């Protein structure tokens, strides 16, 4: 399949919650994969969605080693993916959703490669990302996950606050009040600001108002319907949402 056909296949899988078999796409390199991702995002924009943010993946060094890669991957967030803090989110249209805690940055100035990433930041916040691979069982090659917009499905951002030291903050992830994951912001490339610098390098330039998800601070966990999710990042606060009950 060509770039447009692969993008349509991924888009249809997401729209109809029908998983694709991993390894069967024919994608072999990351340049082609990012071309498919761009075509996939273009389809979303043609339906009226708007770009709101930029997300990073494989910010865990252990995950990079596991996947046999030496660099991060990235994708785009749209307004349709946004979940209100404390709000509800319908997961019935997803294939096998998972959730992970993150740190979010809000740009107050243009972020450019080679510049001081911290100087472009207006605020930081605790965040949660919902991921949902369009490949069956989250089994995919590196080019396939890139083409799939790095499994992006939803995100929620807590209260914004001024930039502070983010180097080694404790992170808790709870489902229905039960602690399911603990971690640290140091899991994000050793320091979340390194992810911000990587975003500048990968994107070239990101505009003021862009939300950047720096990457997961813990492993992702399955996200069933009828579940309250809360993440706490020490010094930044809490963020949460509830998945709607199955009909």
pTM of the model: 0.93
Per-residue pLDDT, 61: 67
Per-residue pLDDT, 109: 97
Cα–Cα distance measured from residue 170 to residue 217, given in angstroms and rounded to the nearest whole number: 9
SS3 at position 52: strand
- Average pLDDT of 103-124? 95
Per-residue pLDDT, 247: 59
Per the model's pLDDT, the better-predicted residue between 141 and 12 turns out to be 12
Q: Write the pLDDT tens digit of every residue in 191-226.
A: 999 999 999 999 989 999 999 999 999 999 999 999
Does 242 have pLDDT greater than 80?
yes
Cα–Cα distance measured from residue 142 to residue 70, given in angstroms and rounded to the nearest whole number: 11
Q: Please state, for a pLDDT cut of 90, what percent of the chain lies above it.
A: 82
Average pLDDT, the chain: 92
Per-residue pLDDT, 82: 98
Per-residue pLDDT, 71: 72
Q: Write the pLDDT tens digit of every residue in 45-75.
A: 999 999 999 999 988 765 666 555 657 899 9
The 8 Å CB, 24+ separation contacts for 49-52 are 49/78, 49/79, 49/80, 50/78, 50/79, 51/76, 51/77, 51/78, 52/77, 52/78, 52/79, 52/81, 52/82, 52/210, 52/211
Place of tokens 């249809």: 12
Q: Is 23 left (phi over 0), alpha (psi -120 to 50) or beta?
A: left
Per-residue pLDDT, 11: 97
Per-residue pLDDT, 59: 84
Cα–Cα distance measured from residue 32 to residue 227, given in angstroms and rounded to the nearest whole number: 37
Cβ-Cβ contacts under 8 Å for 44 (sequence gap 6 or more): 11, 78, 80
């Amino acid at each position: 399949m060509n770039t447009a056909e692969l993008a349509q296949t991924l888009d249809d899988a997401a729209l109809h919650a029908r998983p694709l078999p991993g390894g069967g796409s024919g994608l072999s390199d990351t340049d082609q994969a990012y071309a498919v991702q761009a075509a996939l995002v273009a389809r979303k924009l043609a339906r009226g969605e708007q770009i709101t943010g930029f997300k990073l993946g494989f910010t865990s060094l252990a995950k990079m080693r596991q996947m046999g890669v030496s660099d991060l991957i990235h994708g785009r967030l749209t307004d349709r993916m946004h979940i209100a803090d404390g709000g509800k989110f319908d997961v019935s249209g997803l294939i096998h959703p998972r959730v992970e805690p993150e740190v979010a940055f809000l740009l107050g100035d243009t972020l450019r490669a080679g510049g001081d990433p911290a100087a472009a930041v207006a605020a930081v916040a605790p965040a949660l990302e919902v991921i949902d691979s369009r490949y069956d069982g989250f089994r995919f090659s590196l080019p396939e996950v890139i083409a799939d917009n790095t499994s992006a499905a939803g995100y929620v951002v807590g209260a914004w606050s001024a930039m502070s030291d983010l180097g080694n903050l404790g992170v808790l992830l709870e489902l229905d009040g039960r602690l399911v994951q603990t971690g640290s912001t140091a899991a994000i490339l050793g320091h979340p600001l390194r992810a911000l610098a990587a975003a500048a390098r990968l994107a070239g330039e990101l505009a003021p108002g862009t939300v950047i998800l720096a990457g997961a601070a813990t492993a992702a966990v399955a996200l069933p319907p009828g579940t309250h999710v809360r993440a706490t990042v020490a010094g930044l606060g809490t963020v949460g949402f509830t998945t709607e009950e199955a009909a």
